[in-house]
Chains A and B, each alone.
Chain A
Amino acid sequence: MTEQVVRPLAVRSVGRSLERVDGHEKVTGAAAYAVEHGEADGVIDPLHVWLVQSTVARGRVARLRPEAALSHPGVVAVIDHSNAPRLRDTGNRELLILQDDAVGFRGQVVALVLAESAESAREGAALVDVSYEVEPHEAELREDNATYKPDSVNPDMDTDTEDGDVDAALAAAEVVVDHVYRTPYEHNNPLEPHATTAWWEDDAGREVLSMFDSTQGVHGVVESLAPLFGLEAEQVRVRAPYVGGGFGSKGEAHAHVVAAALAARTTKGRPVKLAVTRQQMFALTGYRTATISHLRLGATADGTLTAIEHAVQEQTSAIREYAEQTASPTRMMYAAPNRRTSHRLARLDVAVPSWMRAPGEMPGMFAHEVAMDELAVACGIDPLEVRERNEPDVDPETGRPFNNRRLLECLHRGAERFDWASRPPGPRATVDGDWWVGTGVASATYPAMKMPGNSARVRSLDDGRYAVAIGSVDIGTGARTVLTQIAADALDVEPGDIDLAIADTRLPPASVAGGSSGTSSWGTAIVAAAQRFRADHGPSPDPGVETTASAADDPAAEQYAFHSFGAVFAEARVNRWTGEVRVPRLLGVYSVGRVVNPMTARSQLLGGLVMGLSAGLFEESHRDPRFGHVVTQDLATYHVAAHADVLDLDAEWLEEADEVFTPMGSRGIGEIGIVGTAAAVANATFHATGVRVRSLPLTADRFLA
């Protein structure tokens, strides 16, 4: 494989709204998702697996009686820690299931039931009789137990940072904002629940584990599973041709993927299908930790920040650490000479938290952007002005110049579209019938990231077409479409001349669809491969020649701090009688580099705004600390925004091309839409009512007189 120094792309298809290349398959139901594959894909006569979950939060399985389950019609086997195939300890206790009798959280997998039908497996699982030796557990995040300092926070950031003398600056500040902001537990809830089909077969004397998995990264699943099963990477093949959303919860393999592979190992080659239920997702597939953010802002009377402190308390699971980087955006967002951030965790006997759309930025910017609104109120200045006043010259965290910081342009464009100039300065100023009406603003930011380890392959076909291959997954964002456009432009052909293959570990390696890094990482690899292909084979290659390449590191990239920015404007109406909150207008204006496909990008940004609105108004997983699990574990009790909640919604972007960051000029758009949105809504409800709510969600009871 070759490394290629990439040149900026001459764009033709990039920047245009090519319709989704897989749209027809999806809307006609022809697209097969993870447990919908049949004989044509090698899934012949499958068994079905159901998970048996612990009903205690901590302790040991004292006795597990499978007899009643085994005598249920259709049940083939019950697998528990006493008879499960052995796994190698890779240090990830979330994945090390059924290896001993220990229970680390309520809902943990303690047995698997295999049956001829999903219904039989489910009933069999209900019939497995498990008793436990119960040990005391702790499942509640509190300010007095979140005291543990992790070595780093996700993905590998400093836990704490400190510049200058925050305490002295706060003591000397003319204005101080000092409040605690809270965000609740939230669950990702993609439309398609997690699901896996797995089977083992013999390939010339070597065992091969094959899977269809609903994942954001097929290669990542191999990296997790191969060492657990003592296999070489080539012995595991994972495919994910269609994935119905993930929002981070499918960024890493969770326990059910191991469960499917373990179960399949016992069936003498018969495939197994395992579909996680919506309720099981609340225990097994990750979630966003609740956060407690203690924000202290010190400023001069005109709103110029002199000190920023963001002390975060949150939780992780005792069985596997995940520390959300909640204060990370505070480190780079605004200028202030004195700055301090910290993260402390409670290690609880609970399910393992993980990535959820914009981990860190989403809860952190809720706290910071509401605090900034409070600073504007305290100084008697406009919320836009307080942000203008604290715009940094360089990245406050690294001292590097920003490559393309256009936050103020986003704010000004949004203000123009929202008619901000006519906004009454004070709160509780506008009544329309039964409703208090207000508007609010918040900034958004998200780091621009490219992941290492991507390469792509280009091969000429015999009809003037090109086969382009990379193992990346389209989780519903439109990646298959935009990569086709990028490949077409990189080869200077039409999108229809590209035969794109993705989502298979037999293809060149690709990084996870996460961190808003997918298009940047995979697209750059495709450009590298295409440019190398043309250098090697010219404009009229012989059919069948091929090139596999990855992009060479760009030393210029080290000189900049790469971030995207945005501004979110919300109008909130709060019912004077009932406290109900409605958001009739929501607008995001973004600077995200060049937009590769306006149609799919708009969906991404609007989807982020809706998810932010949903987090602002509704989403909250209630964990009952007595039991240790989330009791609002379905979509009737865990509310996400419904159609009726989403009214005048719009997103636009500044025209730009960031060719320092990627040859396409793009930066990534998957997450920034959710950042700042809940803060904008909260700030709008304050402007409407004069009631400052510092914890999410903004439910009706918070605004009752």
Chain B
Amino acid sequence: MRAMRYLPAESPVWAVETVAGSPGAQFLAGGTNLVDHLKLGVTAPELLVDISRLPLDQVEQYDDGAGLRIGANVRNSDLAAHPLVRSRMPAVARALLSGASGQIRNQATTAGNLLQRTRCVYFQDVTTPCNKREPGSGCSALEGYGRYNAVLGASAACVTTHPSDLAVALAALDATVVVLGTEGERRVPFADLHRLPGDDPSVDTTLGDGELITSVEVPVSRASERSTYRKVRDRASFAFALVSVAAAVELDGPVVRDVRIAWGGVAHRPWRARLAEAALVGRELTEDAVRSAVDEELADAETTAQTAYKVPMLRNTTALTLTRLAEEETR
């Protein structure tokens, strides 16, 4: 590990001003991902600004219960256990509990979870080329180990997936990310936070220089109260998703009035399946209807021998998840 400077942040504004304009500076929150990277040589910051002690650790209702505002430093385990999260947006609680391990969830923060980086084996192995870690060096995963690779929205420069479970749930629930920058606060729709790799996979998000996530706002709706998260993995715990589905549905009799579908394990960012949603709204929610809606979304999927399984797995898991939600709704 290289010697670096470490500064505990005095305030959010101070933290932003300290990191902005300093390419060698990074925020440190729970450290569950960044500290690994320091050891592996994936990143070598000159300055770590520790934001973990900033008082951004509250979960509170806003606008008379229209939604929940989740502080950036709320720990994953605390968020998953919060009564309002469990009752008003169960997809968030379930996504969190399906991720990592108890010890890591105790340490990891809400914003840190969203900003964690890919677990692509080549990204984490500094002896191999990786465009995300070292722009222009090439993508080793393209023709290498690719069981966890993307099937949607990938590019010739990067085929990896975003590892977060929480992010998939928040994508489904139309969250808003509150961001503090040198010019003040701005609000980013969740769908705009993460980006596709294009020809520059080194950049994961649309956050600007020094911008700090201070909270995440999640609106409550009838759909969010009937939301869920299903993660598919070989190992029963402590594994990243092969695919995952965050879903919420509101029915009018047998007919879909509102539906949200987001997928994990398929793209460089959480994948909101808007084509599939559009195909379902106004229709009766049946297993077959979900399957054909999923196929519309997956029409552009590009698979390899190693990732071909993700198409039937997504189709089945989405059908399972939505039909179960519908059964609960009509019960």
CB contact under 8 A between A580 and B234, given known A434-B320, A631-B121, A639-B239: yes
Please report the C-alpha to C-alpha distance between residue A697 and residue B147 in the assembled complex, in whole angstroms: 13
Contact with A along B282-317 (1 / 0, CB 8 A): 000000000000000000000000000100110011
Q: Which residue of chain B is the closest to A580 with respect to CB atoms?
A: B232
How close is B113's CB to chain A, nearest CB, in angstroms?
16
User: Does B125 lie within 8 Å of A699, measured CB to CB?
Assistant: no
Question: Residue A119 at the B interface, CB < 8 A?
Answer: yes
Q: For B239, list chain A residues within 8 Å (CB).
A: 639, 642
Interface set, chain A 565-598, CB cutoff 8 A to B = 577-582
Chain B residues within an 8 Å CB radius of A701: 242, 309, 313
Chain B residues contacting A434 (CB-CB under 8 Å) are 320
Q: Could you give, for residues 124-163 of chain B, a 1 whenever the CB lies within 8 Å of some chain A CB and a 0 otherwise?
A: 1101100000000000100111000000000000000000
Q: Is the CB of A119 within 8 A of B316?
A: no
> Which residue of the partner chain A has the closest CB to B232?
A578
> Given the interface contacts A624-B140, A631-B145, A637-B119, does A645 sit within 8 Å of B313 by beta carbon?
no
Rounded to whole angstroms, the CA-CA distance of A622 and B122 in the bound complex is: 12
Shortest distance from the beta carbon of A581 to any chain B beta carbon, whole Å: 8
Whether A637 lies near B121 (C-beta < 8 A) is yes
Question: What 0/1 pattern do residues 680 to 705 of A give for CB contact below 8 A with B?
Answer: 00000000000000000101110011
Identify which of B140, B234, B320 contacts A618 (C-beta below 8 A).
Answer: B234
- Does the CB pair B125–A631 fall under 8 Å? yes
Give 1 or 0 for each of A41-83: 1 = CB within 8 Å of chain B CB.
Answer: 0000000000000010000000000000000010000000000
**B41 at the A interface (CB under 8 A):** yes
Bound together, the chains give a CA A627 to CA B312 distance in angstroms of 31
**By the criterion CB–CB under 8 Å, are B235 and A642 in contact?**
yes
Is B144 touching A123 in the complex (CB atoms < 8 A)? no
Chain B nearest CB, measured from A341 CB (Å): 32
The answer to whether A624 touches B312, judged by C-beta atoms less than 8 angstroms apart, is no
CB-defined A-B contacts under 8 Å, sample of 14: A122-B1, A578-B313, A578-B316, A578-B317, A581-B234, A626-B143, A627-B128, A641-B235, A642-B237, A645-B237, A700-B232, A700-B234, A700-B313, A704-B309
Tell me whether A421 is interfacial, beta carbon within 8 Å: no
Which one, A119, A126, A579, A631, contacts B122 given CB within 8 A? A631
What's the nearest-Cβ distance from chain B to residue A135, in Å?
Answer: 18
Interface digits, A628-646 against B, CB 8 Å rule (1 contact, 0 not)? 0101111011010111110
Contact with A along B233-270 (1 / 0, CB 8 A): 11111111010000000000000000000000000000
Are B312 and A705 in contact (CB-based, < 8 A)?
Answer: yes
Q: Which of A55, A578, A629 sits near B320, CB closer than 8 Å?
A: A578
Cβ of A617 within 8 Å of any chain B Cβ, yes or no, is: yes
Q: Which of the listed residues B2, B127, B144 has the most CB atoms from chain A within 10 Å of its own CB?
A: B127
* Structural contact, A700 and B317, CB atoms closer than 8 A: no
Known: A631-B125, A699-B234. A579 touches B1 (CB 8 A): no
* CB-based contact B121/A643 at 8 Å: no
Instruction: Compute how far the CA of A579 lies from the CA of B316 in the bound complex, rounded to whole angstroms.
Output: 10
For B237, the chain A residues whose CB sits under 8 A away are 642-645
Chain A residues lying within 8 Å of B121, measured Cβ to Cβ, are: 622, 631-633, 637
Contacts of B309 in A (CB 8 A): 579, 700-701, 704
Cα A704 to Cα B128 with chains together (Å): 33
Q: Which residues of A contact B2 (CB under 8 A)?
A: 123
- In whole angstroms, what is the CA distance A697 to B239 when docked? 15
B319 part of interface (Cβ distance < 8 Å):
yes
- Which residues of A have CB within 8 Å of B128? 624, 627, 631
**How many angstroms between the C-alpha atoms of A245 and B25 in the bound complex?**
41
Instruction: Provide the main secondary structure of the chain A interface.
Output: loop
Interface string of B205-248 (1 = CB under 8 A from A): 00000000000000000000000000011111111101000000
Using Cβ atoms and an 8 Å threshold, which residues of chain A touch B320? Answer: 434, 577-578
Q: Cβ of A617: which chain B residues have Cβ within 8 Å of it? A: 234-235
Chain B contributes a number of interface residues (CB within 8 A of A) equal to 34
Which 9 pairs of residues, A with B, have the shortest CB-CB distance?
A701-B309, A644-B236, A644-B237, A577-B320, A577-B316, A631-B121, A55-B127, A578-B232, A622-B145
**Which chain A positions have C-beta within 8 A of B124?**
634
Contact with B along A592-631 (1 / 0, CB 8 A): 0000000000000000000000000110001010110101
Asked if B242 contacts A700 (CB within 8 A), the reply is yes
Report B's interface with A, CB cutoff 8 A.
1-3, 39-41, 119, 121-122, 124-125, 127-128, 140, 143-145, 232-240, 242, 309, 312-313, 316-317, 319-320
Give the size category of A's interface with B: 35 or more
Flag if A577 contacts B144 (CB, 8 Å). Answer: no
Of B121, B124, B309, B312, chain A has the most CB atoms within 10 Å of the CB of B121
Give the complex CA separation of A12 and B240 in angstroms. Answer: 51
Residues of A within 8 Å of B140, CB to CB, are 624, 626-627
Residues of A within 8 A of B235 (CB): 617-618, 639, 641-642, 644-645
* A577→B319 contact, CB < 8 A: yes
Q: Which residues of B contact A622 (CB under 8 A)?
A: 121, 145
Q: Which of B39, B238, B240, B319 contacts A642 (CB 8 A)?
A: B238
A629 closest partner in B (C-beta): B127
The reply to whether B312 and A697 form a contact with Cβ atoms under 8 Å apart is: no
Q: Which residues A83-125 have CB closer than 8 A to chain B?
A: 106, 119, 122-123
- Known: A123-B2, A580-B232; 4 extra A-B contacts, CB below 8 A, are A122-B1, A579-B309, A700-B242, A704-B309
**Residue of A at shortest CB range from B318?**
A577
Contact of A577 among B127, B143, B240, B317 (CB under 8 A): B317
Given A119-B1, A637-B119, A644-B236 in contact, is the A632-B145 Cβ separation under 8 Å?
yes
User: With A642-B235, A704-B309 in contact, is A626–B317 under 8 Å at CB?
Assistant: no
Complex Cα distance A622/B149, Å? 14
Chain A positions within 8 Å of B240 at CB level? 636
> Could you tell me the distance between the alpha carbons of A700 and B39 in the complex, rounded to whole angstroms?
32
Give chain B nearest CB distance to A284 CB in angstroms.
Answer: 14
Tell me the minimal C-beta distance from A593 to chain B in angstroms: 35
Bound-state CA distance A633–B2 (Å) is: 23
Q: Report the separation of the CA atoms of residues A631 and B233 in the bound assembly, to the nearest whole angstrom.
A: 19
Residues of B within 8 A of A705 (CB): 312, 316
Residue of A with least CB distance to B145: A622
B234 and A639 contacting across the interface, CB-CB below 8 Å:
yes
By a CB distance below 8 angstroms, the chain B residues around A641 are 235
Give A383 Cβ to nearest chain B Cβ, in Å.
Answer: 25
Q: Which residues of B contact A627 (CB under 8 A)?
A: 127-128, 140
Q: A626-B144, A633-B121, A701-B309 given as contacts; is B1 within 8 A of A582 (CB)?
A: no
Q: Residues of B contacting A624 with CB < 8 Å?
A: 128, 140, 144-145
